[in-house]
Protein backbone atom coordinates (compact mmCIF):
# COMPACT_ATOMS: atom_id res chain seq x y z
CA UNK A 1 0.00 0.00 0.00
CA UNK A 2 1.59 3.27 -1.05
CA UNK A 3 0.03 5.93 1.11
CA UNK A 4 0.12 7.17 4.65
CA UNK A 5 -2.62 8.08 7.13
CA UNK A 6 -4.54 4.85 7.56
CA UNK A 7 -8.31 4.96 7.98
CA UNK A 8 -9.97 2.79 10.67
CA UNK A 9 -10.32 -0.06 8.18
CA UNK A 10 -6.60 0.04 7.42
CA UNK A 11 -6.89 1.81 4.09
CA UNK A 12 -5.15 5.10 3.41
CA UNK A 13 -5.90 8.50 1.98
CA UNK A 14 -2.68 10.45 1.56
CA UNK A 15 -1.02 10.06 -1.83
CA UNK A 16 2.71 9.37 -2.16
CA UNK A 17 4.87 11.36 -4.56
CA UNK A 18 5.79 9.34 -7.64
CA UNK A 19 8.01 10.42 -10.53
CA UNK A 20 7.07 10.08 -14.18
CA UNK A 21 10.04 8.13 -15.53
CA UNK A 22 8.56 7.58 -18.98
CA UNK A 23 5.61 9.00 -20.91
CA UNK A 24 4.77 6.98 -24.00
CA UNK A 25 2.13 8.18 -26.48
CA UNK A 26 0.02 5.14 -27.43
CA UNK A 27 -2.63 6.43 -29.83
CA UNK A 28 -4.26 9.85 -30.17
CA UNK A 29 -5.11 11.15 -26.68
CA UNK A 30 -3.80 8.07 -24.84
CA UNK A 31 -0.47 7.86 -23.00
CA UNK A 32 1.24 5.26 -20.86
CA UNK A 33 2.90 6.84 -17.84
CA UNK A 34 5.59 4.80 -16.13
CA UNK A 35 5.69 5.87 -12.48
CA UNK A 36 8.25 5.28 -9.74
CA UNK A 37 7.31 5.92 -6.12
CA UNK A 38 9.96 8.27 -4.70
CA UNK A 39 10.12 6.82 -1.17
CA UNK A 40 12.42 3.81 -1.35
CA UNK A 41 10.80 1.83 1.48
CA UNK A 42 7.28 2.32 0.12
CA UNK A 43 8.44 1.46 -3.37
CA UNK A 44 10.04 -1.76 -2.16
CA UNK A 45 6.95 -2.73 -0.15
CA UNK A 46 4.43 -2.07 -2.91
CA UNK A 47 2.67 -5.14 -4.34
CA UNK A 48 -0.40 -5.36 -6.52
CA UNK A 49 -2.53 -8.08 -8.06
CA UNK A 50 -3.53 -8.15 -11.72
CA UNK A 51 -6.70 -6.09 -12.22
CA UNK A 52 -6.20 -3.64 -9.33
CA UNK A 53 -6.02 0.12 -9.73
CA UNK A 54 -4.27 3.13 -8.21
CA UNK A 55 -5.61 6.61 -7.54
CA UNK A 56 -3.40 8.97 -9.57
CA UNK A 57 -3.33 12.52 -8.25
CA UNK A 58 -2.58 15.62 -10.34
CA UNK A 59 -1.43 17.89 -7.51
CA UNK A 60 -3.95 20.58 -6.69
CA UNK A 61 -6.43 19.34 -9.28
CA UNK A 62 -7.77 15.94 -8.33
CA UNK A 63 -7.44 12.18 -8.37
CA UNK A 64 -8.53 9.56 -10.92
CA UNK A 65 -8.75 5.78 -10.64
CA UNK A 66 -6.44 4.16 -13.20
CA UNK A 67 -5.73 0.44 -13.67
CA UNK A 68 -2.18 -0.74 -13.17
CA UNK A 69 -1.13 -1.91 -16.62
CA UNK A 70 2.24 -3.43 -15.83
CA UNK A 71 3.75 -6.69 -14.76
CA UNK A 72 2.80 -7.59 -11.16
CA UNK A 73 6.21 -9.30 -10.83
CA UNK A 74 7.90 -5.92 -11.29
CA UNK A 75 6.01 -3.58 -8.93
CA UNK A 76 8.82 -1.00 -8.66
CA UNK A 77 7.79 0.58 -11.98
CA UNK A 78 4.07 1.08 -12.42
CA UNK A 79 2.51 1.63 -15.84
CA UNK A 80 -0.79 3.49 -16.16
CA UNK A 81 -2.34 3.90 -19.61
CA UNK A 82 -4.50 7.01 -19.51
CA UNK A 83 -7.06 8.36 -21.95
CA UNK A 84 -7.28 12.15 -21.80
CA UNK A 85 -10.96 12.92 -21.27
CA UNK A 86 -11.48 15.67 -18.72
CA UNK A 87 -10.21 17.80 -15.84
CA UNK A 88 -7.64 15.59 -14.13
CA UNK A 89 -6.48 13.60 -17.15
CA UNK A 90 -6.24 16.88 -19.09
CA UNK A 91 -3.69 18.13 -16.53
CA UNK A 92 -1.83 14.79 -16.52
CA UNK A 93 -1.43 15.11 -20.29
CA UNK A 94 0.63 18.26 -19.80
CA UNK A 95 3.11 16.58 -17.39
CA UNK A 96 6.57 15.57 -18.61
CA UNK A 97 9.19 13.01 -17.67
CA UNK A 98 10.67 14.07 -14.31
CA UNK A 99 7.40 15.66 -13.12
CA UNK A 100 5.65 14.25 -10.07
CA UNK A 101 2.16 12.90 -9.45
CA UNK A 102 0.59 11.52 -6.27
CA UNK A 103 -0.21 7.84 -6.01
CA UNK A 104 -2.21 5.78 -3.56
CA UNK A 105 -3.25 2.19 -3.83
CA UNK A 106 -3.51 -0.52 -4.88
CA UNK A 107 -7.27 -0.76 -4.59
CA UNK A 108 -10.03 -3.10 -5.59
CA UNK A 109 -10.50 -6.75 -6.43
CA UNK A 110 -8.38 -8.66 -8.92
CA UNK A 111 -8.66 -11.18 -11.73
CA UNK A 112 -9.17 -14.79 -10.52
CA UNK A 113 -5.70 -16.13 -11.37
CA UNK A 114 -5.84 -18.87 -8.76
CA UNK A 115 -9.17 -20.19 -9.98
CA UNK A 116 -7.88 -20.06 -13.57
CA UNK A 117 -4.83 -22.21 -12.80
CA UNK A 118 -4.99 -25.44 -14.88
CA UNK A 119 -7.88 -24.10 -17.01
CA UNK A 120 -8.16 -22.35 -20.35
CA UNK A 121 -8.17 -18.56 -20.00
CA UNK A 122 -10.21 -16.39 -22.35
CA UNK A 123 -9.59 -12.64 -22.20
CA UNK A 124 -12.10 -10.42 -24.04
CA UNK A 125 -11.60 -6.67 -24.30
CA UNK A 126 -12.77 -3.67 -26.26
CA UNK A 127 -11.05 -0.31 -26.73
CA UNK A 128 -9.15 0.89 -23.66
CA UNK A 129 -10.52 -2.17 -21.84
CA UNK A 130 -7.25 -3.85 -22.72
CA UNK A 131 -5.37 -1.77 -20.08
CA UNK A 132 -6.77 -3.60 -17.03
CA UNK A 133 -5.92 -7.02 -18.52
CA UNK A 134 -2.28 -6.39 -19.49
CA UNK A 135 -1.17 -7.35 -16.00
CA UNK A 136 -3.10 -10.62 -15.98
CA UNK A 137 -1.85 -11.57 -19.44
CA UNK A 138 1.72 -10.86 -18.27
CA UNK A 139 1.05 -13.04 -15.25
CA UNK A 140 -0.29 -15.96 -17.31
CA UNK A 141 2.40 -15.90 -20.02
CA UNK A 142 5.14 -15.88 -17.35
CA UNK A 143 3.61 -19.00 -15.82
CA UNK A 144 2.50 -20.51 -19.10
CA UNK A 145 2.74 -24.18 -17.99
CA UNK A 146 0.31 -23.55 -15.12
CA UNK A 147 -2.59 -22.59 -17.40
CA UNK A 148 -4.43 -24.18 -20.33
CA UNK A 149 -4.93 -22.45 -23.68
CA UNK A 150 -4.85 -18.64 -23.59
CA UNK A 151 -7.23 -16.86 -25.98
CA UNK A 152 -7.07 -13.09 -26.25
CA UNK A 153 -9.92 -11.38 -28.12
CA UNK A 154 -9.70 -7.65 -28.62
CA UNK A 155 -11.86 -5.25 -30.59
CA UNK A 156 -11.33 -1.62 -31.57
CA UNK A 157 -13.48 0.84 -33.49
CA UNK A 158 -10.66 1.70 -35.92
CA UNK A 159 -7.08 0.44 -36.41
CA UNK A 160 -5.58 3.72 -35.19
CA UNK A 161 -7.14 2.99 -31.79
CA UNK A 162 -5.22 -0.26 -31.32
CA UNK A 163 -3.01 0.03 -28.23
CA UNK A 164 -0.09 -2.25 -27.36
CA UNK A 165 0.32 -3.48 -30.96
CA UNK A 166 3.78 -4.95 -30.23
CA UNK A 167 2.56 -6.69 -27.08
CA UNK A 168 -0.19 -8.49 -28.99
CA UNK A 169 2.52 -9.69 -31.39
CA UNK A 170 4.68 -10.94 -28.52
CA UNK A 171 1.76 -12.65 -26.78
CA UNK A 172 0.63 -14.48 -29.91
CA UNK A 173 4.07 -16.17 -30.08
CA UNK A 174 3.71 -17.88 -26.72
CA UNK A 175 2.82 -21.57 -26.73
CA UNK A 176 -0.91 -22.44 -26.74
CA UNK A 177 -1.75 -18.76 -27.07
CA UNK A 178 -3.88 -17.14 -29.76
CA UNK A 179 -4.69 -13.49 -30.30
CA UNK A 180 -7.82 -12.46 -32.23
CA UNK A 181 -8.13 -8.82 -33.28
CA UNK A 182 -11.03 -7.09 -34.95
CA UNK A 183 -11.92 -3.54 -36.00
CA UNK A 184 -15.36 -2.10 -36.76
CA UNK A 185 -13.99 0.33 -39.33
CA UNK A 186 -10.84 -1.19 -40.87
CA UNK A 187 -8.40 0.68 -43.10
CA UNK A 188 -6.60 -0.80 -46.08
CA UNK A 189 -3.69 -2.07 -43.95
CA UNK A 190 -5.84 -3.95 -41.45
CA UNK A 191 -5.08 -7.68 -41.76
CA UNK A 192 -7.32 -9.01 -39.00
CA UNK A 193 -11.09 -9.47 -38.66
CA UNK A 194 -13.73 -6.84 -39.41
CA UNK A 195 -16.68 -6.21 -37.13
CA UNK A 196 -17.49 -6.33 -33.45
CA UNK A 197 -15.63 -8.47 -30.95
CA UNK A 198 -18.49 -10.97 -30.55
CA UNK A 199 -18.07 -11.92 -34.26
CA UNK A 200 -14.81 -13.57 -33.18
CA UNK A 201 -16.72 -16.32 -31.39
CA UNK A 202 -17.31 -18.03 -34.74
CA UNK A 203 -13.52 -18.63 -34.94
CA UNK A 204 -13.00 -20.27 -31.58
CA UNK A 205 -14.61 -22.87 -29.42
CA UNK A 206 -14.65 -21.86 -25.79
CA UNK A 207 -14.20 -24.81 -23.44
CA UNK A 208 -17.06 -24.65 -20.90
CA UNK A 209 -14.52 -25.13 -18.09
CA UNK A 210 -12.57 -22.00 -19.14
CA UNK A 211 -12.26 -18.90 -16.97
CA UNK A 212 -13.25 -15.73 -18.85
CA UNK A 213 -12.01 -12.22 -18.04
CA UNK A 214 -13.63 -9.25 -19.75
CA UNK A 215 -13.23 -5.50 -19.80
CA UNK A 216 -14.61 -2.87 -22.15
CA UNK A 217 -17.88 -1.18 -23.03
CA UNK A 218 -20.68 -2.71 -20.95
CA UNK A 219 -22.85 -3.45 -24.02
CA UNK A 220 -19.97 -5.45 -25.46
CA UNK A 221 -19.52 -7.38 -22.20
CA UNK A 222 -23.25 -8.17 -21.98
CA UNK A 223 -23.30 -9.41 -25.60
CA UNK A 224 -20.13 -11.49 -25.13
CA UNK A 225 -21.54 -13.02 -21.93
CA UNK A 226 -24.67 -14.12 -23.77
CA UNK A 227 -22.46 -15.95 -26.32
CA UNK A 228 -20.44 -17.57 -23.55
CA UNK A 229 -23.50 -18.75 -21.65
CA UNK A 230 -24.77 -20.35 -24.89
CA UNK A 231 -21.42 -22.17 -25.17
CA UNK A 232 -21.99 -23.60 -21.70
CA UNK A 233 -19.62 -21.38 -19.70
CA UNK A 234 -21.39 -20.72 -16.38
CA UNK A 235 -21.74 -17.16 -15.06
CA UNK A 236 -19.64 -18.25 -12.05
CA UNK A 237 -16.56 -18.42 -14.30
CA UNK A 238 -17.15 -15.19 -16.21
CA UNK A 239 -15.52 -12.11 -14.67
CA UNK A 240 -16.03 -8.50 -15.74
CA UNK A 241 -14.12 -5.37 -14.75
CA UNK A 242 -16.44 -2.35 -14.56
CA UNK A 243 -15.80 1.38 -14.36
CA UNK A 244 -17.73 3.90 -12.33
CA UNK A 245 -16.91 7.46 -11.45
CA UNK A 246 -15.32 7.46 -7.97
CA UNK A 247 -13.65 9.85 -5.56
CA UNK A 248 -12.40 8.05 -2.43
CA UNK A 249 -11.69 4.48 -3.64
CA UNK A 250 -12.28 3.16 -0.12
CA UNK A 251 -16.06 2.69 -0.07
CA UNK A 252 -17.02 5.94 1.64
CA UNK A 253 -18.09 8.51 -0.95
CA UNK A 254 -20.71 6.31 -2.64
CA UNK A 255 -20.02 7.68 -6.13
CA UNK A 256 -19.20 4.25 -7.55
CA UNK A 257 -22.06 2.40 -5.91
CA UNK A 258 -23.81 -0.08 -8.18
CA UNK A 259 -26.80 -1.25 -6.21
CA UNK A 260 -25.39 -3.12 -3.24
CA UNK A 261 -21.85 -3.19 -4.66
CA UNK A 262 -19.05 -0.63 -4.44
CA UNK A 263 -16.93 -0.75 -7.59
CA UNK A 264 -13.89 0.47 -5.60
CA UNK A 265 -14.11 -2.25 -2.93
CA UNK A 266 -15.95 -5.36 -4.11
CA UNK A 267 -14.97 -4.43 -7.69
CA UNK A 268 -13.80 -3.42 -10.17
CA UNK A 269 -13.51 -7.14 -11.03
CA UNK A 270 -16.81 -8.92 -10.37
CA UNK A 271 -17.98 -12.46 -10.96
CA UNK A 272 -20.83 -12.17 -13.42
CA UNK A 273 -23.43 -13.95 -11.28
CA UNK A 274 -22.66 -11.57 -8.38
CA UNK A 275 -23.11 -8.40 -10.44
CA UNK A 276 -25.68 -9.69 -12.97
CA UNK A 277 -28.68 -8.02 -11.38
CA UNK A 278 -27.11 -4.53 -11.52
CA UNK A 279 -25.05 -5.09 -14.63
CA UNK A 280 -28.09 -6.00 -16.71
CA UNK A 281 -29.68 -2.64 -15.94
CA UNK A 282 -27.69 -0.07 -17.94
CA UNK A 283 -27.45 3.22 -16.06
CA UNK A 284 -27.27 1.75 -12.55
Ligand X SMILES: Cc1cc2nc3c(=O)[nH]c(=O)nc-3n(C[C@H](O)[C@H](O)[C@H](O)COP(=O)(O)OP(=O)(O)OC[C@H]3O[C@@H](n4cnc5c(N)ncnc54)[C@H](O)[C@@H]3O)c2cc1C
Cα separations (Å) of 237 from 87, 103, 178? 37, 32, 20
Contact pick of 79, 120, 243, 261 for ligand X (by CB under 6 A):
243
Which CB sits closer to ligand X, 199 or 257?
Answer: 257
3-class secondary structure, 102 = strand
Of 16-24, 82-90, 133-141, 189-197: span binding ligand X (CB under 6 A): 82-90
**193 in helix, strand or coil?**
strand
Complex with ligand X: residue 85 or 194, whichever CB lies closer: 85
Site for ligand X in 93-122 (CB under 6 A): 108
Closest by CA to 23, choosing from 85, 88, 92, 73, is: 92
Give me the 264-283 binding string for ligand X, x by CB under 6 A, dash otherwise: ----x---------------
Q: Identify residues 122-141 at the interface with ligand X (CB under 6 A).
A: 128, 131
Q: Which of 20, 35, 82, 133 binds ligand X (CB under 6 A)?
A: 82
Angle at 130 between CA 184 and CA 71, to 5 degrees: 155
251 — alpha (psi -120 to 50), left (phi > 0) or beta?
Answer: left
Among 70, 84, 65, residue whose Cα is nearest residue 35: 70
Between 255 and 276, name the residue whose CB sits nearer to ligand X.
Answer: 255
Contact region for ligand X (CB under 6 A) — 14-22, 88-96, 213-221, 274-282?
88-96
Binding-site size, ligand X (CB under 6 A): 24
Q: Would you count residue 151 as binding ligand X (CB under 6 A)?
A: no
Q: How far apart are CA 247 and CA 88, in angstroms?
A: 12
81 forms part of the interface with ligand X (CB under 6 A): yes
Asked whether 267 and 238 are in contact (CB, 8 A), the reply is: no
Cα torsion through 158, 163, 166, 167, rounded to 10: -130
Selected from 53, 57, 201, 272, the binder of ligand X by CB under 6 A is 53
Torsion of CA 65, 71, 72, 77, to 10 degrees: -70
Cα 265 → chain centroid: 15
**Nearer CB in complex with ligand X: 8/283:** 283
Task: Rule CB under 6 A: say whether 247 interacts with ligand X.
Answer: no
64 near ligand X, rule: CB under 6 A: yes
- 59, 73, 76, 87: which one binds ligand X (CB under 6 A): 87
Nearer to ligand X, 82 or 233 (CB): 82
Is there binding between residue 214 and ligand X (CB under 6 A)? no
| CA distances to 8, 166, 175, 200 from 170, in Å | 44, 6, 11, 20
The correct pick among 4, 146, 209, 245 for binding ligand X (CB under 6 A) is: 245
- Quick one: 132 or 193, whose CB is closer to ligand X? 132
DSSP letter (8 states) at residue 147: S
Q: 241, 268 in Cβ contact below 8 A?
A: yes
Give residues in contact with ligand X (CB under 6 A).
53, 62, 64-67, 81-83, 85-90, 108, 128, 131, 243-246, 263, 268
Amino acid sequence: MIATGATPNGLSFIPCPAEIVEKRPETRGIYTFRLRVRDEAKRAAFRFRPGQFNMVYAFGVGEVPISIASDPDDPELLDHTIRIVGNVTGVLERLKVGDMVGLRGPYGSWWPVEEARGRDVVVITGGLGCAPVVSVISYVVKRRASFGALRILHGVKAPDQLLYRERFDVWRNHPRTRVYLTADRPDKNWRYRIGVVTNLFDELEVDPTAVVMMCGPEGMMRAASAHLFKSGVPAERVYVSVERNMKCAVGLCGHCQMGSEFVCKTGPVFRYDVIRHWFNHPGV
